[in-house]
Amino acid sequence: MRRGDFISWTVVALSASIGFGVAIHQWHRARQFEAAAGELERQREPALNELYRWETRNTAIGQTKGTPSAESDKPFPPALPAGGEEREPKTPPTYAERLQKDPEFQRLHLASNRAELVVTYGALFRKLKFPPEKIDAFMEIAARRDEREMDLQAVVELSRLTSEDPAAKAMEQKNKDVFAQEARALLGEADYAEFEQYEKTIWSREMVAGWAGGATVMLGEPFTPEQGESLVDILANASSLYREGGFVNITEPGYWNLVEARARKILSPAQLQLITTMEPPLPSGARFQSHLTQKIQDAIEAEKARRE
């Protein structure tokens, strides 16, 4: 085991464990804040209505200088803001809307993407021994790709297109072609081929990083560099689509059974139990999320066929 590989996977495991712990903490805090905000909003409307009712009734009493009439006992309409316009429920902007309209949000989004690129491609940079200036140049190319993707997303939403629309697909393909041309010119054919192969295992690497964090935090038994790389290879080659030159498809029949059988040979019993019961903290989920999504899609298709 090379010292550089040991440091690499140690950094990945440490980063993943920190991210795993922070993600759980932030998730709990977010849920607490959401619950508190929802409760305050539920209490706010009745309070405003009651205040409006009290002020209106008090005015009626002052005008008649007597007891409130039967008319004043009728239910009052909901409280209105100062301008007299009906209050509309405020819906928070979506992520896409903020990307379109909030320059500061756009800047933070792109800065976040740049930081993620270092983690995503760090192992590739070390494998190909890229000098710092070449890493910076590649990061710039990848950042421009992300900026174009952000612009494309805005255009699709503003034009009310779907991701399957021919116009949207054409724009997406053009962005991929521009990135491929720039990356090939920078890396050369040999390194670009390595990059393309590496890209197909990125999701697998993210899953392993999530599990590595869980193994460190929950088990106190982090993956060794050899275990990490072997697990990435197992996740990739368990997919027939990957073996045929495509990306890893974790929804293939028998995929996870094959992963478990092969992982059993390189992991401890506790580590094996962790990767077969823990969902890595990925935006799109992994084993169980994919199963749930597939079940939902199957149910939708079955219902559609029944109606037809």
Cβ–Cβ < 8 Å for 209, 16: yes
What is the rounded radius of gyration, in angstroms, for the C-alpha atoms of the chain? 28
pLDDT of residue 151: 80
- Report which of residues 38 and 111 the model is more confident about: 111
- Report which of residues 248 and 15 the model is more confident about: 248
pLDDT of residue 40: 47
pLDDT of residue 7: 47
pLDDT of 118 strictly over 70: yes
Q: What is the residue-averaged pLDDT of the chain? A: 76
Cβ–Cβ < 8 Å for 200, 248: yes
Say if pTM beats, i.e. exceeds, 0.75: no
Beta-carbon-side half-sphere exposure of residue 241 (alpha carbons within 13 Å): 12
Contacts of 260 (CB under 8 A, 6+ apart): 272, 276
Mean pLDDT of 265-280: 91
pLDDT of 221 strictly over 60: yes
Mean pLDDT of 198-203: 87
Q: pLDDT band for position 227 (50/70/90)?
A: very high
pLDDT of residue 146: 83
Which pairs from 195-200 meet CB under 8 Å and 24+ separation?
195/124, 198/121, 198/123, 198/124, 200/236, 200/242, 200/246, 200/247, 200/248
Which pairs from 50-56 meet CB under 8 Å and 24+ separation?
51/79, 52/76, 52/78, 52/79, 52/80
Mean pLDDT of 235-263: 91
Mean pLDDT of 52-66: 54
Mean pLDDT of 257-280: 92
pLDDT of residue 10: 52
Rounded Cα–Cα distance for residues 108 and 111 (Å) = 5
Share of the chain above pLDDT 70, in %: 67
Least confident of 7-11, 127-131, 191-195: 7-11
